[in-house]
Amino acid sequence: MDKPNENKIKNLHPLIRKEITQIVKECDEALIGGAKVRITQWLIFFRNLLHFERSFIWKGERKIKASWRNLQNLPKDKDGYVIFTQ
């Protein structure tokens, strides 16, 4: 991976850095003829994507505020998706 990509990945949210690094490496390995993947845009603030139809979600028997912080602490299935209850 080249230096510009490394610098941009450093600015990503910690929860997605490792995954993005792996994606870029896999793409670089799959490309032939010296082509490489270059990250040209990225998300500086993960919370900018926050959009929920509901302001509260259920966690067991209680409602909690729908936020990225709360979502990352909810239980996940084997593929890493949040398991919602109720």
- For 36-55, the pLDDT digits (tens) are 888 776 555 545 455 556 67
- Mean pLDDT, the chain, rounded, equals 78
Quick one: pLDDT at residue 55? 77
CA–CA dist 66, 24 (Å, integer)? 31
The average pLDDT across 1-26 equals: 85
Please give the model's pTM, rounded to 2 decimal places. 0.46
- Closest-CA residue to 16 (of 40, 38, 47, 37): 47
